[in-house]
Structure 1
Amino acid sequence: MCAAANAQEISDILFGQNNKEDYMGQYNYNGKRKNGFGIERYKNGAVYVGDFVENEISGRGMLISLKKEISNVDGAYVYVGNWREGKKSGRGVCYDASGKVVYNGKFVNDKPSEKSSADSKNRSFVIKDIDNNLYLGEMSGDSQDGFGLTLSESGEIVYGSMKDGVRQGIGMIFYAPDVWEVGRWSEGKFSAFKNSQTANADIASFRASNKEQNRIMREQLFAAAENFAQAGLTVATMVNDIKGGGASSAAGGDEAVDGNVPSGKSRSYYQTMYDKWESKAKETYKDGVRHKASAETPGDFRVVTSEGKLLRTYQRSMEQVRRMAKKEGFNLKVSKYETVSF
């Protein structure tokens, strides 16, 4: 339910909600079929980042499918690995809503073909701020390791492989949807060997104009990710209730103990979550009002529009927390920042 909304948010954030294009990246020689590196969003909110061959997902890439589970792997919402003609083929890793590994191994014809590797304890999939850059991808322990997408502080969208926190191998940098470079990283240094027709434009100008926009984008992605993680935990609790005969029976009755509900979450737990989102909504509201009052150029109004969307994201988070609390018997007071607009 909320997972669907948040999946759509992530794809809309990357592409822009009003952008009618659903693909950015390389095409074949006549410009009619996706071929090479690219990012594509789907109607169900899923996002694919990686290789294409003549319109088919083939090669290496990651699929983030927060609305619907990854096919043939229970509880999986992210797949990172090899593809062939649109199907999982070869080695790959599936992650659940909280970023934990649910399957690590080989796939044949889109289905797991062996037992999951036991060597997965330190692997995870995260959305995390690292050195002021937002990283969406695989980790090994505390280090970026595997496939990942980075939204840099200066505005670029970068994707490719990471090893011990350093980019390695072939990848792509997007400065804008139609401004990109493909190249190779060696020990973190990038050397481009192919670019879009408009990539000869002044890259510095894209960085300057997109910096504020991408600050907001990072905030939106964080909010969407945290919302989804909460939704995933809620779904897990519901499944456990069904399998275990209900939370009340597992807890020995309907009465809360020491202020805790049968799920183990207290009123203060939900209030703390609500207060956190309220603080973010309040700050965004004030920024939006200030920017709207001083807006003079189309770029200024673009920032205001993005801040309005970010405010609504935080407000949905507040509403979600209240609903979760209400199911546990707690009524939280509605803040004015849950409904305010500018």
Structure 2
Amino acid sequence: MRIILFVFFVACLAQSSLSQNIIEDIFSKSLEVVSDKGRKELYKGQIIKKKRTGMGLLKMKDGALYIGDFSKGEMTGYGMLLVPEGNSVSNCDNCAVYVGNWQDGEKTGSGVCYAKNGDVLYSGKFKDDRPINAYGSTDDSPLRYFSLFENSDGNMFLGEVNDGNFNGFGVIVFNDGDLWFGNFRNGLKQGVGLYLMYDGEWETLNFKDDSYDVISSSANYRDVEHSRSLANKQSFGFIMDNFAAAATATAGAVNSARAIRQSDGNSSGLAASDNSGSSGNSKNGSKQGNKKASNCGSSWSIDSNTYSNYETQLIKMRTYPEKYDNYTADYASIQSKMRQIRTKWEVRGCSITKSQYE
């Protein structure tokens, strides 16, 4: 990823009108590669569990463009809506751009409506997609407006300006189709935003005074999802193994019950069978080999479950090692406990299947 310490010299640039079709002219390159298509919509950005969740760019079927937060496929959070030339943002006359809060695709909470020339039309609260106060009322500074700037490299800034600096929500569109969007303060990027690359890869970055830390990335997310999927498959295998063990134990118990019922019906036959045993080996038969699970008692069942729980914990630790401060020591401690449980029952002739993680 390029280092995006991108500074505009506002004093050297003229404010551009929003009358041009900015959606087609500025964002067409970025939308050549998208993350999701549906119902004549184009989406590029973060997707979690096959839903548009996080931050992204959405071109709607009516030509409008939304840039901002999503949750479970809906515009929810904070973002910017740009409508095509000749249209207005719903319920806001002559509004070309809305910047503010959203809930399930509707304007909800605080927001600002901007005219085509960049002037503030309304600044205040919204509910059910409509302004709460009289439309046209605002207590914003007269130095606040929405505008478009281009630097000498052909990179564009589109967003809120106040007192001669980028202040508020804004988007940088690089000439190769990469995007950065988030908040600005006094001309510098501030807080959490998204760097969205032309090929659809992304990084979530947290800026402070235009220096930044990487919070997450599409590559990291794929690694986490792969590990989670692997852990789920392994857990499913363990569950099926436990079902198989339980079925075996149940079958053993049923067979024992049948033998008891049969012997109750023919006690003399059982006595004769006992008396005909050879060299007394039948008295020690239980010590030869491992006992069946059904004959190992409730203590074995409890320890077996404990062993299985330890195994599950190790899988979680290997999948999300960053969540454990003392990962190495804790992992080794759990392995030691598993080993103690398993060897204890091996001596008693009741085995517990050794885990690959032990």
Pairwise TM-score range, normalised by the shorter structure:
0.5 to 0.7
1:14 lines up with 2:33 in the alignment: no
Cα separation, 2, equivalents of 1:183 and 1:122: 29
- Residue of structure 2 equivalent to 1:119: 140
- Residue of structure 2 equivalent to 1:143: 165
User: Which of the numbers 52, 72, 87 marks the counterpart of 1:54?
Assistant: 72
Shift of 1:191: 1.1
Tell me if the contact between 1:101 and 1:123 (Cα under 8 Å) persists in the aligned partners: yes
User: Which of the numbers 11, 18, 23 marks the counterpart of 2:43?
Assistant: 23
AA paired with 1:185?
A: F
Give the total of aligned pairs: 197
AA paired with 1:83?
A: W
Tell me if the contact between 1:88 and 1:109 (Cα under 8 Å) persists in the aligned partners: yes
1:69 lines up with 2:91 in the alignment: no
Shift of 1:121: 1.3
Counting only pairs closer than 5 Å after superposition, residues 1-342 of structure 1 correspond to structure 2 as 7-16=23-32, 21=37, 22-28=42-48, 30=49, 32-67=50-85, 68-115=87-134, 116-130=137-151, 132=153, 133-152=155-174, 156-197=178-219
Shift of 1:199: 9.7
Shift of 1:134: 1.3
Cα separation, 2, equivalents of 1:127 and 1:4: 11
Kindly name which structure, 1 or 2, has the bigger radius of gyration based on alpha carbons: 2
Shift of 1:156: 3.3
Q: Percent identity?
A: 33
Tell me if the contact between 2:34 and 2:200 (Cα under 8 Å) persists in the aligned partners: no
What CA deviation, in whole Å up to 9, does each residue of 1:44-98 have, x standing for no partner? 2211100000001000000001242101111001000000110001111111111
Identify if the C-alpha distance between structure 1 residues 33 and 96 changes in structure 2 by more than 3 Å, giving closer, same or farther.
same
Tell me if the contact between 1:144 and 1:166 (Cα under 8 Å) persists in the aligned partners: yes
AA paired with 2:66?
A: Y
Cα separation, 2, equivalents of 1:122 and 1:45: 30
AA paired with 1:78?
A: V
Tell me if the contact between 2:96 and 2:113 (Cα under 8 Å) persists in the aligned partners: yes
Structure 1: unaligned runs, 5 residues or longer? 201-342
Cα separation, 2, equivalents of 1:155 and 1:14: 4
Shift of 1:155: 5.9
Cα separation, 1, equivalents of 2:95 and 2:109: 17
Q: If the length of structure 1 is used for normalisation, what is the TM-score?
A: 0.52
Cα separation, 2, equivalents of 1:189 and 1:175: 19
Shift of 1:20: 8.3
Cα separation, 1, equivalents of 2:35 and 2:51: 19
Cα separation, 2, equivalents of 1:141 and 1:5: 26
Cα separation, 1, equivalents of 2:20 and 2:172: 23
Tell me if the contact between 1:137 and 1:147 (Cα under 8 Å) persists in the aligned partners: yes
Cα separation, 2, equivalents of 1:173 and 1:96: 28
Identify if the C-alpha distance between structure 1 residues 131 and 160 changes in structure 2 by more than 3 Å, giving closer, same or farther.
farther
- SS of 1:197's equivalent? helix
Tell me if the contact between 1:9 and 1:45 (Cα under 8 Å) persists in the aligned partners: no
Cα separation, 1, equivalents of 2:79 and 2:128: 16
AA paired with 1:113?
A: I
Identify if the C-alpha distance between structure 1 residues 52 and 135 changes in structure 2 by more than 3 Å, giving closer, same or farther.
same
Cα separation, 1, equivalents of 2:176 and 2:33: 21
Tell me if the contact between 2:27 and 2:173 (Cα under 8 Å) persists in the aligned partners: no
Identify if the C-alpha distance between structure 1 residues 91 and 185 changes in structure 2 by more than 3 Å, giving closer, same or farther.
same
Tell me if the contact between 2:36 and 2:43 (Cα under 8 Å) persists in the aligned partners: no
Shift of 1:39: 0.6
AA paired with 1:163?
A: R
